[in-house]
């Protein structure tokens, strides 16, 4: 039985106690729900991989409460400092050199010399990290290859009975995973995954446009699965009208059975995206037509997720 914990000090104390005991607990963040375990505990991290059914070459993000927590884990360079000042706490993950002796299980980095770290902005995540007092490794709280959860009910629909508990924090505000930024050999920032912080805002802060590199490439791993974030049904993108038998997911002027945002607002569309994919699964939609979404700002991260969802499996 997976416990549903309340978003209050009693629920958080229970979550922290379970985490200290090495259990896996799903927690809300401002992006999506994370499947959290003690980053320093091999057993706990193994429990995350087991619950997700995730291939173990895919490393995890460690979440920290504060700057002291960051400095215990990684080396922060000058470019990273600028991004931290501008975007933390918030939906940005930085891939930085792991410090020697950092309290992180090698299962978290999958053996890499770098670590992905993030200081989340969600008040419950922050409170829990403070009560827990260490780093929490947390991938999105969905079975591998499935849609990321933006509500506690989504977590339970994929992982009920597989994890100790879920902290119910309601709906996630951003609705898309964090943007991941790494650094090349010259110290220049590179976008490894588009997400909650747009490339335009990163360029504003750093003073140059950032290159984008596929996650798989960046970690020299057998590649990020292309089919990811996928609903059960087959998706057809950039559709302006539904064909017979298709359920239509609209955007802006292109209406549908469901819509990401009737007013064409990309922020609203991002926060609705995974919820709508879950809803399509619940409807039993076998064929899904998706309206075009402009490829700018948050639309780039939305289109990345849609392309993965539509990839052949």
For binding to ligand TXA (CB under 6 A), which residues are involved? 29, 31-32, 34, 58-61, 93, 95, 109, 112, 114-116, 118, 138-140, 177-178, 180, 182, 192, 215, 218-219, 224
Q: Which does 59 bind (CB under 5 to 8 A by kind): Mg ion, ligand TXA, none?
A: ligand TXA
Least Cβ distance, residue 187 to Mg ion (angstroms): 28
- At its nearest, how many Å lie between Mg ion and the CB of residue 180? 11
Say how far apart CA 288 and CA 278 lie, in whole Å.
12
CB of 108 to ligand TXA, least distance (A): 8
CA 21 to chain CA mean position, Å? 24
The residue (of 201 and 236) whose beta carbon lies closer to ligand TXA is: 201
Shortest distance, position 228 Cβ to Mg ion, whole Å: 7
Query: Least separation, in Å, of the C-beta of 40 and ligand TXA?
Result: 16
DSSP letters of the chain? --EEE-SSHHHHHHHHHHHHTT--EEE--SSS-EEEEETT-HHHHHHHHHHHT--TTS--EEE-SSHHHHHHHB---HHHHHHHHHH-SSSEEEEEEBPTT-S--HHHHTT-SEEEEE----HHHHHHHHHH-S-EE--BSS-TTSPPPSSHHHHHHHHTTTSSEEE---S-SS-SPPEEEEE-TTS-EEEEE--SS-HHHHHHHHSSPPEE--HHHHTTSS---SS-S--SSEEE-S-SSPPTTPEEEEBTTB--SEES-TT--HHHHHHHHHHHHHHHHHHT-SEEEE----SSTHHHHHHHHHHHHHS--
For residues 59 and 250, which CB has a smaller minimum distance to ligand TXA in the complex? 59
Question: Which lies closer to ligand TXA via its Cβ, residue 190 or residue 283?
Answer: 190
The binder of 92, among Mg ion, ligand TXA, none, by C-beta within 5 to 8 A per type, is none
Of 150 and 259, CB closest to Mg ion: 150
- Least Å from the CB of residue 282 to ligand TXA: 22
Size of site (CB under 5 A) for Mg ion: 1
Taking contact as CB under 5 A, which single stretch among the options 69-77, 81-89, 133-141, 197-205 is the one that binds Mg ion?
133-141
178 binds, among Mg ion, ligand TXA, none (CB under 5 to 8 A by kind): ligand TXA
User: Which of the listed partners (ligand TXA, Mg ion, none) does 272 bind, with a CB threshold of 5 to 8 Å by partner kind?
Assistant: none
**CB closer to ligand TXA, 30 vs 246:** 30
Whole-number Å distance between alpha carbons of 149 and 278:
8
Closer residue to Mg ion (CB): 38 or 140: 140
Decide: is 140 part of the binding site for Mg ion (CB under 5 A).
yes
Residues 6+ apart with CB under 8 A from 202: 83, 179, 181, 189, 191, 210
Residue 45 or residue 235: which is nearer to ligand TXA going by CB? 45
d(CA 17, CA 224): 33
138's contact among ligand TXA, Mg ion, none, with CB below 5 to 8 A by partner kind, is ligand TXA
CB of 148 to Mg ion, least distance (A): 5
Q: Which is nearer to Mg ion, 93 or 140 (CB)?
A: 140
Q: What does the binding site for Mg ion look like in residue numbers (CB under 5 A)?
A: 140
């Amino acid at each position: 039985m997976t416990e549903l914990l309340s978003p209050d000090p009693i629920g958080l104390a229970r979550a922290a106690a379970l985490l200290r005991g090495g259990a896996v607990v799903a927690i809300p963040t401002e992006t999506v729900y994370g499947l959290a375990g003690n980053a320093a505990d091999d057993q706990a991290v193994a429990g995350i991989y087991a619950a997700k059914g995730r291939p173990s070459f895919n490393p995890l993000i460690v979440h920290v409460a504060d700057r002291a927590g960051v400095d215990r884990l990684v080396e922060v360079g000058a470019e990273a400092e600028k991004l931290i000042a501008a975007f933390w706490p918030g939906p940005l993950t930085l891939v930085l050199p792991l410090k020697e002796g950092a309290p992180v299980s090698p299962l978290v980095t999958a053996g890499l010399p770098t670590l992905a770290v993030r200081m989340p902005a969600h008040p419950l995540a922050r409170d829990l990290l403070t009560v827990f007092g260490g780093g929490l490794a947390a991938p999105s709280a969905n079975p591998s290859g499935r849609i990321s959860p933006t509500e506690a009910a989504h977590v339970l629909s994929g992982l009920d009975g597989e994890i100790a508990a879920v902290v119910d924090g309601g709906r996630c505000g951003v609705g898309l995973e964090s943007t991941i930024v790494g650094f090349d050999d010259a110290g220049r920032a590179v976008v490894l995954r588009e997400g909650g912080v747009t490339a335009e805002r990163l360029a504003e802060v750093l003073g140059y446009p950032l290159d984008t590199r596929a996650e798989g490439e960046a970690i020299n791993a057998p590649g990020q699965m292309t089919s990811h974030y996928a609903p059960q049904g087959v998706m057809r993108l950039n559709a302006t009208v539904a064909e017979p038998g298709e359920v239509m997911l609209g955007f802006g002027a292109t209406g549908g059975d469901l819509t990401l945002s009737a007013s064409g607002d990309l922020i609203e569309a991002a926060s609705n995206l995974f919820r709508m994919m879950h809803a399509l699964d619940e409807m039993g939609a076998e064929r899904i037509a998706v309206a075009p979404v402009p490829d700018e700002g948050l639309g780039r991260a939305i289109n990345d997720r849609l392309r993965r969802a539509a990839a052949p499996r």
